[in-house]
Amino acid sequence: MLKKILKWLGIAIAGIIGLLVLAALGIYMVSNSKINTTYDITVEAIAIPTDSAAVARGAHIAETRVCYDCHGPDLAGQVFMDAPPMGTIYASNLTSGNGGIGGQYSDTDWVRAIRHGVGADHKALFNMPSEAFWSLSDADLGALIAFLKQLPPVDNPHPAPEYGPVSRGLIALTGAFFSAAHIDHDAPRMQEVEAAATPEFGAYLAQLCAACHQADFSGGTHHGPPDWPNTANITPDPEYGIGKWSEADFFRAMREGKRPDGPDIHPEAMPRTIGNMTDDELKAIWLYLQTVPPVASKGKE
Ligand code: HEC
Ligand code: HEC
């Protein structure tokens, strides 16, 4: 009798182990196929200027669109994620130094990477948040690339990405981390707006905010480290959003990370570098946020 039970127990355990191995194999294969999917998108031909005014404009865009938060203080790249279950991923070296892409990228490659989240090898870039940059106008993207192309070379080679089991599981099951898979690459882009302290220009700039705060600005979950707070509701709702804030409160939140009515704002989860926007730019965003429909909820989980 005991022998029989042990035999069946053995078969059951072997079965469970077999299923786990199959599941792991499945996750490995599905994640591999997503990692290696190639994207053949039509990349817009954009004029890349070379004049110093455009380069200065591009420098300002790089400073205010969170590039430095991930690509490091000289944009020569740095480790982005290094924990065994997640893997080791570097944000690329954007200069033309050793290990940098600057010397190899064509203008089309720059546009494909920044706007569409797709590398020069046509595979999706991992955790490069192109949905936040997709809305950049041709003129702004051109200026940004003009600035990147003249960065001083910095030698800083990085190893190729290594994906850990948790990253692979998330990639296989959710498709998270690959902007290229979520962006509607052919959607119409907003028309160029004159840069001024107007709600129209604010609507253009606020597309960056929408990438984290959700399309309706009601906030919610994010893809950052698990100990980071959710993004906040920044609609004019008086209870859940920033409806009771003054314009000065908003400027202080953006520039100093201080809330009028609570603890300090997390300086990395809500990148403080965005506070480098000019007075006119922040004012434009403030004016625009007054016009979006208030949402009485804590945002999407
Ligand atoms: C949340 C972090 C993050 C932010 C913000 C970010 N990047 Fe990236 N970026 C990455 C990572 C990580 C990679 C490498 C992806 C890979 O190896 O698959 C990358 C890759 C790239 C590449 C492709 C390089 C290559 O190796 O082929 C370019 C170009 C680039 N980023 C430019 C920018 C610019 C310009 C900005 C600001 C407008 C920016 N990135 C903002 C994380 C980020
Ligand atoms: C990379 C993601 C990200 C981007 C981009 C981003 N935010 Fe945030 N923001 C956050 C997170 C996360 C929080 C919550 C931080 C906390 O609770 O400490 C936050 C909080 C805030 C707050 C505080 C609100 C409150 O009620 O406390 C304001 C205001 C804000 N963001 C405005 C903006 C604006 C305006 C933009 C665009 C110009 C923007 N954010 C872009 C992630 C982001």
Segment 210-253, tens digit of pLDDT: 999 999 999 998 777 888 999 999 999 999 999 999 999 999 99
CB 82 within 8 A of CB 91: no
Predicted confidence band of residue 23 (pLDDT cuts 50, 70, 90): confident
- Our answer on whether the CB atom of 270 is closer than 6 Å to any ligand 2 atom is yes
Residues with CB under 6 A from ligand 1: 65-67, 69-71, 80, 89, 91-92, 94, 101, 110, 113-114, 119-120, 125-129, 133, 144, 161
Segment 84-134, tens digit of pLDDT: 888 999 999 999 999 999 999 999 999 999 999 999 999 999 999 999 999
d(CA 281, CA 45): 27
Segment 292-301, tens digit of pLDDT: 999 999 877 6
For the CA of 81, the closest atom of ligand 1 is 12
For the CA of 136, the closest atom of ligand 1 is 38
Q: Which residues of 267-283 are buried (b: 16+ CB within 10 A; e: fewer)?
A: eebbbbbbbbbeeebbb
Predicted confidence band of residue 5 (pLDDT cuts 50, 70, 90): confident
Give nearest CA residue, ligand 2 atom 39: 209
Give the least confident one: 8-22, 56-70, 104-118, 277-291: 8-22
Sequence-separated contacts (24+) of 89-92 with Cβ below 8 Å: 89/126, 89/127, 89/161, 89/162, 89/163, 90/158, 90/159, 90/161, 91/127, 91/128, 92/158
Which ligand is the nearest neighbour of the Cα of 67?
1
Predicted confidence band of residue 32 (pLDDT cuts 50, 70, 90): confident
Q: Which sign, positive or negative, has the C-alpha torsion 130, 243, 225, 81? A: positive
Distance 270 CA to ligand 2 centre (A): 5
Segment 185-218, tens digit of pLDDT: 999 888 889 999 999 999 999 999 999 999 999 9
Give nearest CA residue, ligand 1 atom 40: 67
Distance 237 CA to ligand 2 centre (A): 15
d(CA 241, CA 231): 11
- CB atoms < 10 A from the CB of 142, how many? 21
pLDDT averaged over the chain?
93
Distance 111 CA to ligand 1 centre (A): 12
- Our answer on whether the CB atom of 259 is closer than 6 Å to any ligand 2 atom is yes
- Our answer on whether the CB atom of 211 is closer than 6 Å to any ligand 2 atom is yes
> What is the mean pLDDT of the segment spanning 258-268?
93
